[in-house]
Chain A
Amino acid sequence: MTKVLTDSRSIRIKGRSFLAVVLSPDLPLDEWLVLLDDLAARSAGFFLGRPVVLDVSDLAIDRAQLKSLIEELGQRSVRIMGIEGAKPSMMEPGMPPAMKGGRPAADFEVEEKEPQPVSEMRNSAPDKPAVPDHKPVVTQSLVINEPIRSGQSVIFPEGDVTIIGSVASGAEIIAGGSVHIYGALRGRVMAGSIGNASARIFCRRLEAELIAIDGVYKMAEDMDPRLLGQSVQLWLEGDAIMAETLI
């Protein structure tokens, strides 16, 4: 039977990064597990609902030992979402996927708590987050005072990008926030690239090859010809890119 695709909606694929806790066990494993139990006793629910990656890069263990380690951790309610630095021979189907390319982040601080009866611990865990409060996120901005030439690309996932000049055909801007172009936009612009549906694109003259907001794309040929050459702002409503001319 053939399935006819009548739905005009497109599949959205986006990148997103999460902060995971990385556990790097030491040998011998049973001693390390004792230390882990001690930590769990002092900081209740530290691993609850938190993505945990197991780093075994400097660990001389084989497949059976890795499997039992994952089981031991499972019994302690530590759920492994991925394994980093394992040799292919150590992996087997059913194990969490191998991960690579991780970037270091700020160290986690474990909140110390007085030991409490188990029943109480379970109740208090969800409403008392063990994560230290993150500092308020300050939106950053990048201002470029010259035109972006063909072949150049500006990648700024941290926030807004403002270009005082034109963006040439064959150039691209990728911003985590909004993109403002005080000139002609002839190249490609991707705003809200790391999942920000409220990002917008502004330009003095729209002649773009491609624009995207939060993973929703629009090619030059899909754009309303009346908008071409105009001063335009573009934003996202649901899955549709909206556009209107600016004065």
Chain B
Amino acid sequence: MGKVIVVTSGKGGVGKTTSTAALGAALAQRNEKVVVVDFDVGLRNLDLVMGAERRVVYDLVNVIQGDAKLPQALIRDKRLENLFLLPASQTRDKDNLTPEGVEWVIAELKRYFDWVICDSPAGIERGATLAMRHADVAVVVTNPEVSSVRDSDRIIGLLDSKTLKAERGERIEKHLLLTRYDATRAERGDMLKVEDVLDILSIPLIGIIPESTDVLRASNMGSPVTLADAKSAAAMAYFDAARRLAGEDLPITIPGERRGIFGKIFGRKAA
């Protein structure tokens, strides 16, 4: 039986879809079978970031409504043969997701894949609650700024009350993925520091992804950053996060802090 991960945040634009794709590709490179599921019905993006937008025939809503079989809707990645995408529908809305349908799809996917990664829509409404409903593990994507942190806090509260695991009295495993972290801005105090975010959210940290143009470039190319530019700092951070998700115990490095000397040299140059 595979593990179900929900990538969620509450707030939009913090990097859920990018992180779903990057973590999915990173886990697939460990020779594990991975499917990434887009739950953002009506505003799908995961197909673009995965570079599969021209190959979408059937989608999640078609499967739930019985218009297509699950294998027909799954799209195999062209670069990694054990990475699959289940796209969302762009023409329907979230009301087409039924709790029973979602339950069935997730149960089926768990039988064939090691990892089922659900890309949650922003917000706390139906789409987001259905995406988190069957999760074993939650990756809470947060930017180091106050509104994102508060929304994440709200989502953690929902994870602890609205998921199936929570209703059964079990605890859902929650991890914090801090994205778009900029060490220089954090030092200047324009951004929340890592310890402030951890203090407020009090869930374990799974990775800090530095703010980087590599991520944006990879997304626009239709490739997860862990495939397009595996040597970039952001990709390395995602690889480490994937290893921690798989249960490895790695120390966390805050981007920018280990290259203190370089920072000083660059600082002088800029001045």
**Chain A interface residues toward B at CB < 8 A:** 146-152, 165-166, 168-171, 184, 186
B111 CB to nearest A CB, Å: 33
Whether B154 and A149, one on each chain, are in contact in the complex, defined by CB atoms closer than 8 angstroms, is yes
Chain B residues positioned under 8 Å from A152 (CB to CB): 157
Instruction: Determine the distance from Cα of A149 to Cα of B151 in the docked complex, in whole angstroms.
Output: 10
Whether A146 and B150, one on each chain, are in contact in the complex, defined by CB atoms closer than 8 angstroms, is no
Option from B157, B199, B200 in Cβ contact (under 8 Å) with A151: B157
Top 6 closest pairs, chain A to chain B, by CB: A149-B157, A150-B153, A150-B154, A151-B154, A168-B153, A152-B157
Whether A184 and B157, one on each chain, are in contact in the complex, defined by CB atoms closer than 8 angstroms, is no
Chain A residues positioned under 8 Å from B160 (CB to CB): 146, 149
Whether A149 and B156, one on each chain, are in contact in the complex, defined by CB atoms closer than 8 angstroms, is yes
Query: Is there a chain A Cβ closer than 8 Å to B202's Cβ?
Result: yes
Instruction: Determine the distance from Cα of A186 to Cα of B201 in the docked complex, in whole angstroms.
Output: 12
Chain A residues positioned under 8 Å from B153 (CB to CB): 149-151, 168-170
Nearest to A149 among chain B residues (CB) is B157
Dominant SS among interface residues on chain A:
loop
* CB within 8 Å of A: which B191-224 residues: 199-200, 202
Chain B residues positioned under 8 Å from A169 (CB to CB): 150, 153
Instruction: Determine the distance from Cα of A108 to Cα of B258 in the docked complex, in whole angstroms.
Output: 74
Interface residues of B, CB < 8 Å — how many? 11
Nearest to A169 among chain B residues (CB) is B150
Instruction: Determine the distance from Cα of A146 to Cα of B160 in the docked complex, in whole angstroms.
Output: 10
Whether A184 and B154, one on each chain, are in contact in the complex, defined by CB atoms closer than 8 angstroms, is no
Chain B residues positioned under 8 Å from A150 (CB to CB): 150-151, 153-154, 157
Whether A170 and B199, one on each chain, are in contact in the complex, defined by CB atoms closer than 8 angstroms, is no
A229 CB to nearest B CB, Å: 12
Chain B residues positioned under 8 Å from A151 (CB to CB): 153-154, 157-158
A39 CB to nearest B CB, Å: 49
Instruction: Determine the distance from Cα of A1 to Cα of B157 in the docked complex, in whole angstroms.
Output: 54
Between A and B, 26 residue pairs with Cβ closer than 8 Å are A146-B160, A147-B202, A148-B157, A149-B156, A149-B157, A149-B160, A150-B150, A150-B151, A150-B153, A150-B154, A151-B153, A151-B154, A151-B157, A152-B157, A166-B200, A166-B202, A168-B150, A168-B153, A168-B200, A169-B150, A169-B153, A170-B150, A170-B154, A171-B157, A184-B199, A186-B200
New A-B contacts (9) at CB < 8 Å, excluding given A149-B154, A186-B200: A149-B153, A150-B150, A151-B158, A152-B157, A165-B202, A166-B200, A168-B150, A168-B200, A184-B199
Instruction: Determine the distance from Cα of A98 to Cα of B28 in the docked complex, in whole angstroms.
Output: 68
Chain B residues positioned under 8 Å from A146 (CB to CB): 160
Instruction: Determine the distance from Cα of A165 to Cα of B156 in the docked complex, in whole angstroms.
Output: 14
Nearest to B156 among chain A residues (CB) is A149
- Give the most central of B150, B157, B199: most A CB within 10 Å: B157
Instruction: Determine the distance from Cα of A168 to Cα of B199 in the docked complex, in whole angstroms.
Output: 10
Instruction: Determine the distance from Cα of A149 to Cα of B150 in the docked complex, in whole angstroms.
Output: 9
Instruction: Determine the distance from Cα of A171 to Cα of B156 in the docked complex, in whole angstroms.
Output: 13
Chain B residues positioned under 8 Å from A147 (CB to CB): 202
A209 CB to nearest B CB, Å: 11
Chain A residues positioned under 8 Å from B151 (CB to CB): 150
Chain A residues positioned under 8 Å from B200 (CB to CB): 166, 168, 184, 186
